[in-house]
């Protein structure tokens, strides 16, 4: 009996970046990142739908979904949606749809939002809605440039860990889709 061969078409991954609010700095520059094409969004459902539709159409799964937005220790804004422990149930469908595509151990949701990393209960709840996908956030204010600063918090379901400095670099071969 012949052994089954591994798939000829390995799974491909994409990194997605979204801007949830106007995060212009005083000089008028908008968030930018080397070779990134961020997409402005009006709400969390738009992020979920875009990632889902792009993944289905391109046969790629998300490895990293980053959201650059305003936030506080209570929660964060995604366009007109405010995500906090009090409003999290209103967004469970959008996070659940993302969770269908984001594979734990491969994908992460990264929140570049001021001080939201201090709300570990919220990060763990989001991770549970994402079916165990880790959520990364920061405890300190984040500059408008989208560069991370301060202590990095990584939460997954029932636990959170910390790490100083910037997140790890993108893996080689990772690409980011652009929209608009």
Q: How do residues 80-93 score in pLDDT, each as one tens digit?
A: 899 999 999 999 99
Q: What spatial distance separates the first Cα and last Cα of the chain, rounded to whole Å?
A: 51
- Please give the tally of structural domains in the chain: 1
pLDDT at 26: 35
Digit-coded pLDDT (tens) for 49-68: 989 998 888 888 899 998 88
For residue 140, being part of any structural domain is answered with yes
pLDDT at 5: 47
Is residue 129 helix, strand or coil? Answer: helix
For residue 95, being part of any structural domain is answered with yes
Average pLDDT, the chain: 77
For residue 2, being part of any structural domain is answered with no
Average pLDDT (31-35) is 38
Q: Label residue 128 by pLDDT band (50, 70, 90).
A: very high
Element of type H or E holding 163: strand 159-164
For residue 48, being part of any structural domain is answered with yes
Closest by CA to 123, choosing from 54, 71, 171, is 71
Q: What is the largest CA-CA distance in the chain?
A: 67
Contact 75, 122 (CB under 8 A): yes
pLDDT at 8: 54
DSSP state of 152: E
User: CA angle, corner 115, sides to 16 and 121, nearest 5?
Assistant: 85
Angle 44-58/92-101 helices, nearest 10 degrees?
20
**Beta strand spans in 93-140 (E):** 108-112, 135-138
DSSP secondary structure string for all residues of 51-82: HHHHHHHHTEEEEEEEEE--B-SSEEEETTEE
For residue 68, being part of any structural domain is answered with yes
Give residue 134's domain range.
12-24+35-164
For residue 127, being part of any structural domain is answered with yes
For residue 7, being part of any structural domain is answered with no
Model pTM? 0.75
Contact 13, 60 (CB under 8 A): yes
Digit-coded pLDDT (tens) for 92-109: 999 999 999 998 889 999
Six token digits for residue 39: 């997409």
Domain holding 129: CATH number? Answer: 3.40.50
Higher pLDDT, 18 or 165: 18
For residue 156, being part of any structural domain is answered with yes
Six token digits for residue 79: 């366009």
Average pLDDT (111-121) is 91
In the predicted structure, residue 16 carries a pLDDT above the cut 90 = no
């Amino acid at each position: 009996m012949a052994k089954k061969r591994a798939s000829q078409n390995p799974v491909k991954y994409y990194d997605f970046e979204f801007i949830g609010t106007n995060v212009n700095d005083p000089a008028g520059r908008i968030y930018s990142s080397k070779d990134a094409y961020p997409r402005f969004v009006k709400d969390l459902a738009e992020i979920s739908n875009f990632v889902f539709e792009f993944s289905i159409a391109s046969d790629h799964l998300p490895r990293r979904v980053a959201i650059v937005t305003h936030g506080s220790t209570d929660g964060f804004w995604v366009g007109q949606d405010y995500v906090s422990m009090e409003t999290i149930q209103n967004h469970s469908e959008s996070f659940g749809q993302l969770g269908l595509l984001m594979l734990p151990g491969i994908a992460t949701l990264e929140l570049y939002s001021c001080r939201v990393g201090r709300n570990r209960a919220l990060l763990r709840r989001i991770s549970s809605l994402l079916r165990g996908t880790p959520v990364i956030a920061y405890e300190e204010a984040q500059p408008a440039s989208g560069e991370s600063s301060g202590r990095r918090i990584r939460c997954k379901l029932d636990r959170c860990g910390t790490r100083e400095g910037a997140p790890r670099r993108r893996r080689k071969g990772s690409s980011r889709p652009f929209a608009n």
